[in-house]
Amino acid sequence: MDYLQGLNPQQRAAAEQTEGPVMIIAGAGSGKTRVITYRVAHLIHKGIDPFNILVLTFTNKAAKEMRERISKVVGAEAKNIWMGTFHSVFAKILRVEASKLGYTSNFTIYDTDDSKSVLRAVLKEMNLDDKLYNPNYVYNRISAAKNNLVSWQEYQQNDQIQADDFSNGRGHLGKVYEMYATRCYRASAMDFDDLLFKTNELLKNFPDVLYKYQNKFKYLMVDEYQDTNFSQYLIVKKLAAINENLCVVGDDAQSIYAFRGANIQNILNFEKDYPDLKVYKLEQNYRSTQNIVNVANSIISNNKEQLKKNVFSEKDHGDKIKVIRAFSDNEEGKTVAETIMQERTTKGLKWNDFAILYRTNAQSRSMEEALRKLNIPYKIYGGLSFYQRKEIKDLIAYFRLTFNPNDEEALKRVINYPRRGIGDTTVDRIILSAGQNNISLWEVIIEPSKYLDGRSAGSVATFSTMIQSFQVLAKNQSAYDAALHIAQHSGLLKDLYEDKSVEGLNRYENIQELLNGIKEFSEREDIEERGLDVFMQDVALLTNDDNDKNPNAETVSLMTIHSSKGLEFPHVFVVGLEENLFPSQMSLNSRTDLEEERRLFYVAVTRAENKLTISYATSRFKFGTLINCEPSRFLDEIDAQYLELDFKAKSQTGNPFFDDDRKAWSRNSDTFSKPKPPTQVKTTSLLAKAHVPTAGFAPSDTSKLQVGMEVEHERFGFGKVVNLEGNKPDVKATIFFKEIGQKQLLLKFAKLRIVEI
């Protein structure tokens, strides 16, 4: 058993415990993969047939890495282990058993685009408004149902689900689900969620199949168990029911995927399912310095729902965690970029020693621009560069067309987005006419009646009139006012706003972040010309691809914290530690959501090996308005002895809030008291006026509130209900207020007056 010599006592004990239910609680950087690897190798050395071992992971990369490590210990036998992601393993089983479910063994697996294409066809056939029944929303709704093992039949028969759909104005969702499922079945196709849904159906309805695989998989191991959903939990429980040789590995402190359906209760309540459970805690962190580990411990200790463990490190204490305060998000980016440059120069580090982590994709803009100005190479990890995202390119195409109507690529990109009845056939005719008459596409468009038939000519004429109005406006308005007008009147902003999926919200936030950047540009005092055309020239320089770039060159990594899970870097910057950003405003209505945000912060901190820097801004543009920001409550939760506050540089603006903030965060204080915002907050938006409630204002009974109703709030003013979610008494309303934009409110506390019923 020489292969076990390199394990510490707890790791070895976990690897050697092969019989019965086992839970390995693996703290960050504690060698989890190493333990799984040697535990499987130990099973094989004990004489267990690799064909009887099932190892389930969440990524193909993790499965591949484990198999390679196991093969170094046991040789070719590693190839016979059933190892892979939940979806890949059960797709394999489903192909063998497909006929029992009425499928052919070569059934197709639909990806997300395939699924949404089917949904669009269903919606069209049912004559449903694809704005209300947005394909992204419908897809996510059906996905959530399948992950909770709710069939279309059960969906239609569940009174609560039906009531929710009708209250949201989407009473036909159950029928859409039925038709979608029928189409997939008719095509002998399964979508990604079906691979788990159908496996549960198979094991439930065919006892002989369940018995077959219970006896085949005598030993089960599940990695990242804290990320399992209800469907995965049931499959594992059924397969392990006879032998109960089930080992789950995970860390409740790193459960951050509730939005994907992950249920932290699966790991928290594991002992209730298996009373004779043996628990092993891997508490030594081999990745991070003692100071970083101490900070992580002080953060996660504030969560009530957790499996207690005492993570420690035997590495050096390391540097204290530096906290940077900046006046604005642009200054935050500038400070982070300068710090990276200085650290690399003075300490001989490489660019890929650095990572910048943020809560939302939109935050990458200020970081990217600051890095570019210092010629620091970087790569957006797990996502596109801010200016390469589709929604950003779409709006910028409108800007380009406004200043250069002969820009044919920009024109073709937006002529029918958002959709305005100018289909591919019409566009082809425009291109053909331009070629035949040796003129530009724009020349055809401004005189469409010469080249196109009546209906298409009318749609094209409306489009050209809109672009010409943008051209006139852009000459006389500030960069921000022109950009906001174009975003609104092109229909792009409305189209993104109405997409309530997670992806849709991200796209909408990205557009707002672009507008925020233009707002800051239009208020700069260090340049004379601040029109939208000048901003576009700057953007063109920022986004100009360097064809000589070496794809293997070292780069600073930029990514969301969710994307960083499983990675590690010598020096990590966690940016944007502000209330309503991190923790997210959407997480402040329940302890469950807030604790997930805290776990997300824990994950961010534990990505750092040697040095950790945290930053926040005291002001940030949001929806075109400069708002004051309060430091995140998470900063309060870090023991002050591990921090170094870097508040020497004072902003040239002399902002009083900045000074108050500086005093509240004095270096000598034992605890961090959050600064109080000033009594008057200066705003740069002419729209942000204080609301005066209607005379005799009195809150209404909101139990019958419906989507589409007009309401009044004492502070936020008049707004329209755009979404309702949750169950009584915890129903949340998403309301678009005319003066301040979108807010999500808990109805039992909101005090709304219903204006229109």
Sequence-distant (6+) residues with CB within 8 A of 499 are: 134, 136, 137, 505, 507, 508
Sequence-distant (6+) residues with CB within 8 A of 222 are: 55, 56, 228, 236, 246, 247, 248, 249, 250
Active site residue 607: yes
Identify the active-site residue in 194, 224, 495, 578: 224
The tokens of 91 are what?
Answer: 């797709």
Active site residue 224: yes
DSSP-assigned beta bridge partners for residue 571: 354, 611
721-to-498, 649, 711 alpha-carbon distances in Å:
12, 44, 7
Identify the active-site residue in 17, 33, 360, 742: 33
Q: How many CA atoms lie within 13 A of 206 on its CB side?
A: 19
Main-chain phi, psi angles of 497, to 5 degrees: -65, -35
Tell me the C-alpha distance between 148 and 646, whole Å.
Answer: 48
Identify the active-site residue in 223, 495, 520, 595: 223
Asked if the peptide bond before residue 583 counts as cis, ω within 30 degrees of 0, the response is: yes
Identify the active-site residue in 10, 11, 12, 32: 32
Tell me the C-alpha distance between 232 and 147, whole Å.
Answer: 8
- Identify which of 744, 551, 524, 554 has the alpha carbon closest to the alpha carbon of residue 652: 524
What is the arrangement of strands in the sheet containing 219-222, beginning at the earlier edge strand? 82-85, 53-57, 219-222, 246-250, 22-26, 278-282
Tell me the C-alpha distance between 633 and 655, whole Å.
Answer: 22
Tell me the C-alpha distance between 333 and 209, whole Å.
Answer: 57
Beta strand 354-358 pairing with 569-574: parallel
Active site residue 329: no
Active site residue 254: yes
Identify the active-site residue in 198, 334, 607, 753: 607
**Per-residue b/e over 227-239, b at no fewer than 16 CB within 10 Å?**
bbbbbbbbbbebb
Q: Which residue has the tokens 């059924």?
A: 238
The three-state DSSP-derived secondary structure of 667-728 is CCCCCCCCCCCCCCCCCCCCCCCCCCCCCCCCCCCHHHCCCCCEEEECCCEEEEEEEEECCC
**Per-residue b/e over 482-516, b at no fewer than 16 CB within 10 Å?**
bbbbbbeebebbebbbebbbeebbbbbbbbbbbbb
566 CA to centre of own chain: 16
491-to-43, 519, 532, 663 alpha-carbon distances in Å:
61, 20, 19, 46
The tokens of 277 are what?
Answer: 């459970």
Residue 496: what residue type? L
Q: Give the helix ranges, DSSP H, for 324-453.
A: 329-347, 364-373, 390-403, 408-414, 424-437, 441-445
429-to-321, 425, 452, 680 alpha-carbon distances in Å:
62, 6, 7, 58
Cβ(344)–Cβ(556) below 8 Å? no
The tokens of 616 are what?
Answer: 């926040």
Q: How many residues does the chain have?
A: 757
What is the arrangement of strands in the sheet containing 717-725, beginning at the earlier edge strand? 741-746, 732-737, 717-725, 710-713, 752-754
Q: Is 663 exposed, middle or buried (0-12, 13-18, 19+ CB in 10 A)?
A: exposed
Identify the active-site residue in 228, 232, 254, 555: 254
Helix (H) or strand (E) holding 184: helix 173-186
Catalytic residues, by residue number, are 32-33, 223-224, 254, 607
